[in-house]
Structure formats: structure tokens, C-alpha cells
Amino acid sequence: MAKRETIETLFQMHMGFVRSACLYAAVKLEVADLLADGPRPVEHIAEATGVDVAMLYRVLRYLASDGVFEERPRREFALTPLSQMLRTDVAGSFHPFAIVNSENGFEVATQLLPGMRDREIPFVKRFGKHPFEILLKDPASAALLERSWQGVHGPETPAVLDAYDFSSVRKLADVGGGHGDVMVGFLERDPARRGAIFDIPPVAAQTKKRLDAAGLGARCEVIAGDFFKEIPVDADAYFLRHILHDWNDDECRKILRNIAARCEPGDRVLIAECVIKAPNTPDLGKLLDMEMLLFLSGWERTELEYRALLESTGFRFARVVPTDSMVSIVEGRFAG
């Protein structure tokens, strides 16, 4: 690569924070909603959002060069497939994630290097508390965060249900099941199936309402508790999606041992996470790992790291099942 190309590549990479800031501005102003009925001149968008028209034009022009919007003659802008997913009224919108991640992430990112030096979670260094501690006291922020992850991780649900053969699973326990979309899909595919969702009390209460509304409440128990203390659920398969990546190895072992305490030989634990790819390989999992580094004590793990976690908690590593999404399913079998 020539020196000019090298500098240009590094410039693009280093200026990524500008792209994020522009995307956040457009999302916060709900520009995509204003374009839902068709293209509009930038002057109309600026008037509707109450911002400077010249500055807005430059932001939207840049985002259009990235394919987020389409710039048309006479400084009109239109939606593209990317900005369609920024609308607030579409299922699985990226809008909540862009809000949550920007309004916390910009500040937290400034604490990455200080956190590395002090061996401290950057979020904790900036705000003085663990993010989950804050969310427990702020239901509105917790609800927004839940919607944001539904948008990002929603496409994983059918991918997981299609990739893994659940036909022999009579009862599935979703540990940290959150919104319950995996359980809903699991139960809807076979009326003979049963399920259980285990989560913290405020989340469990909302999940119970959703299952009842879907007509599935009779086939799925919802249990509230703390998975670091015990998981009082009996099932033949235990499912964890984007749970273990939140926690360090010692914390993960506590969760897995609490699952193992309920298992019979051959029972399964199914871990749906990004499994880190080989060195020097482009990998969304490595990007998500930076999110974990900034906010939490956990990380995205390799296959070998999952094998070690399982085998240290009474499970035998069985296999990794890829899916048509960023996650794979790491399967462990209880050794007894």
C-alpha cells in the first residue's frame, strides 16, 4: 500500500468518531421519520428540527456519501435501506441503540486509556457505578436499553432457532431471557414444547405479560431471581444469549455452576454468543468485544475459552453451531 493510501486509510479509521457523531445527530433529530413520506429539501428538514440549515446540509451530505441517506438535486434528501432502519416506527429499529450507545458511549470512550492504565471498567471510571446498578434504579433507561438490543440482536432470533436442532428439547430454560423472543419462537414452533424464563424481578414481570398476551403463558413459567445465587429451574436444556459476555470468568463460572446444580447427565447448556474468529480476521465479534471492554467486566470469547469455562463447571464441550447471524451456539453437555 502506497504512503498516500496508508494515510487515507488511517484518516478514515481515526475519524470514525465523526461518523458516529453525525449519525447520532440525524437519529436524535429523527430525520428518517421526516422523510418517511418521501424526499424533502434540507430547508424543510432544518425548519422541522430547529437546527441550522447549512450545518444540517453538511451532516446529511456526509451521511449520504456513506449510503445512510440519498442526496438528490436541489439539496433534497431521501431514505435508503439504511435510514429506513433509523425510523422510530419500524420493527427492530436501530434508533434506540444509536441513542443509548451515543449518549453513554462518547463519554465512556474517553476513559478507555485511563481505564486500561488503572485496570478499571471505563464506564465505572466515568460514572462511578456499574451500568447494571444504574439501570436497576432507572426503569425508563432500562426499557430503552432493552429496545436498543432488540433492534441489534433481533435478527439473531430466527437464525438461532433455524440453525440449532431443538427437536429433542422438551423443556427449554432461557436464563436471562429478557424480552422473551427466543422463547416465543421456540414455543410457537411446536405446541408440545414447554419453557421457563429466569430473569431479575422487573424484567420477569414484563416478560410474563408478553407471554400471556401471546397465549403462551400456560406453557412457560417465568421465575424471578439472581443467577449468581441460584437458578431454581428444571429443564433439559438451558439457553443463554448474550449473558456470559457481560461477565468475567469467575462470574461466568458462578452462573454455569448454578445451572449445573439443576442438571442431569446429558442435559445441555446452549450459549449463544459471538465466538471470536482467527487473528487478523474481520469480525463483528471483535467490535462487540470493545463494547464489553468499555462498559462491563466480560468479553467475547474464543472457542477455546468457552471450552475451558464449560469443562471447569461440570460440562463437556460438545460443538459450536454457526448461525446466519453474528452469534454461534456453543453447546455443552452436563457430565454428571
* pLDDT tens-place string over residues 194-205: 999 999 998 898
Tens of pLDDT along 314-328? 999 999 999 999 999
Q: Is 14 a catalytic residue?
A: no
User: Going edge to edge, which strands form the sheet with 40-41?
Assistant: 40-41, 76-79, 69-72
275 in Cβ contact with 301 (< 8 Å): yes
pLDDT reported for residue 282: 92
Return mean pLDDT, the chain: 95
What is the pTM assigned to this prediction? Answer: 0.93
Q: How confident is the model at residue 336, as a pLDDT?
A: 79
Query: What Rg do the C-alpha atoms of the chain give, in angstroms?
Result: 22
Residue 240 pLDDT: 98
pLDDT beyond 80 at 144: no
| SS3 assignment, position 197 | strand
DSSP string, 251-284: HHHHHHHHHHTTPPTT-EEEEEEPBP--TT---H
- Say whether pLDDT at 136 is over 90: no
Cβ(223)–Cβ(279) below 8 Å: no
CA-CA distance, 314 to 38, in Å (whole number)? Answer: 58
Do residues 71 and 41 touch, judged by C-beta distance below 8 A? no
Residue 139 has what pLDDT? 80
pLDDT, residue 140, reads 80
**What pLDDT, on a 0 to 100 scale, did the predictor assign at position 26?**
98
pLDDT at 170 over 80: yes
321 phi, psi to nearest 5 deg: -105, 115
Q: How many CB atoms lie within 10 A of CB 267?
A: 20
Residues with Cβ within 8 Å of residue 206, at least 6 apart in sequence: 179
pLDDT in tens, 74-130: 999 999 999 999 999 998 899 999 999 999 899 999 999 999 999 999 999 999 999
List CB contacts of 194: < 8 A, sequence separation 6 or more: 170, 171, 172, 187, 219, 220
Name the CA dihedral angle for 318, 322, 326, 329, rounded to a multiple of 10 degrees. Answer: -30
Task: Determine what percent of the chain is predicted with pLDDT higher than 70.
Answer: 100
**Burial annotation 240-258 (CB, 10 A radius, 16+ → b, else e):** bbbbbbbbebebbbebbeb
Q: What is the pLDDT of residue 2?
A: 87
Taking residues 293-308, report their average pLDDT. Answer: 97
Q: Are the C-beta atoms of residues 218 and 189 closer than 8 Å to each other?
A: no
Cell representation of residue 196: 421457563
* Residues contacting 73, CB < 8 A, separation 6+: none
- Amino acid 65: pLDDT: 97
Q: Identify the structural domains of the chain with CATH numbers, from first to last.
A: 3-84 (1.10.10.10), 95-151 (no CATH), 154-334 (3.40.50.150)
pLDDT at 189: 95
At residue 292, the pLDDT reads 96
Mean pLDDT of 216-239: 96
DSSP bridge pairs for 41: 76
Say which amino acid occupies 296. Answer: L
Q: 1 falls in which pLDDT band (50, 70, 90)? A: confident
Q: What is the pLDDT of residues 249-290, one digit of tens each?
A: 999 999 999 999 999 999 999 999 999 999 999 999 999 999
Mean pLDDT of 323-334: 97
SS3 content of the chain, % helix, strand, coil (to 5): 50, 15, 30
pLDDT of residue 177: 87
Question: 146 versus 32: which is more confidently predicted?
Answer: 32
User: Cell 407471554 appears where?
Assistant: 211
CA-to-CA dists, residue 56 to 25, 61, 74, angstroms? 9, 8, 15
Catalytic option among 95, 153, 179, 245: 245
**What does the pLDDT look like over 48-64, one tens digit per residue?**
999 999 999 999 999 99
139 or 76: which leads in pLDDT: 76
Rounded distance, CA 81 to CA 66, Å? 12
Average pLDDT over residues 16-24: 96
SS3 76: strand
